Amino acid sequence: MIKTAYNGLKTAWKGLALTIKHFFDARESKKVVNVKEANYFDQQNGIATVQYPHQELPIPEVGRYQLDVVIDDCIVCDLCAKICPVDCIEIESIKGTEVIGKTSDGSVKRLYAPKFDIDMAKCMFCGLCTTVCPTECITMTNEYDRSFTLVTDLTYHFADMTEEEAELRREELETQLTERKAAKEAAMKKTEEK
Q: Where are the domains of the chain?
A: 1-58, 67-176
Which overall architecture, per CATH, does domain 67-176 show? 2-Layer Sandwich (3.30)
Distance of alpha carbon 167 from alpha carbon 114, whole angstroms: 9
What does each C-alpha distance from 120 to 20, 54, 62, 68, 125 come to in angstroms?
A: 44, 25, 19, 11, 9
Residue 29: per-residue pLDDT: 65
- DSSP secondary-structure letter at 29? B
Candidate from 43-57, 76-90, 112-126 with smallest mean pLDDT: 43-57
**Count of alpha carbons within 13 angstroms of residue 50, beta-carbon side:** 9
Residues 85, 88: Cα–Cα separation, whole Å:
8
CB atoms within 10 A of CB 122: 14
The pLDDT tens digits of the residues spanning 161-182 come to 889 998 999 999 899 989 888 8
The mean per-residue pLDDT over the stretch 78-101 comes to: 92
Does residue 188 carry a pLDDT above 90?
no
Range with the poorest average pLDDT among 33-37, 101-105, 183-187: 33-37
Asked if residue 35 has pLDDT above 70, the reply is: no
- 84 burial via Cβ count (<10 Å: 0-12, 13-18, 19+): buried
Give me the pLDDT at residue 131, please: 94
Predicted structure pTM score: 0.68
**If 0-12 CB within 10 Å is exposed, 13-18 middle and 19+ buried, where does residue 53 land?**
exposed
Please state the rounded mean pLDDT for residues 93-119: 90
Over residues 63-75, the mean pLDDT reads 90
pLDDT (tens digit, 9 = 90+) per residue, 72-88? 999 999 999 999 999 99
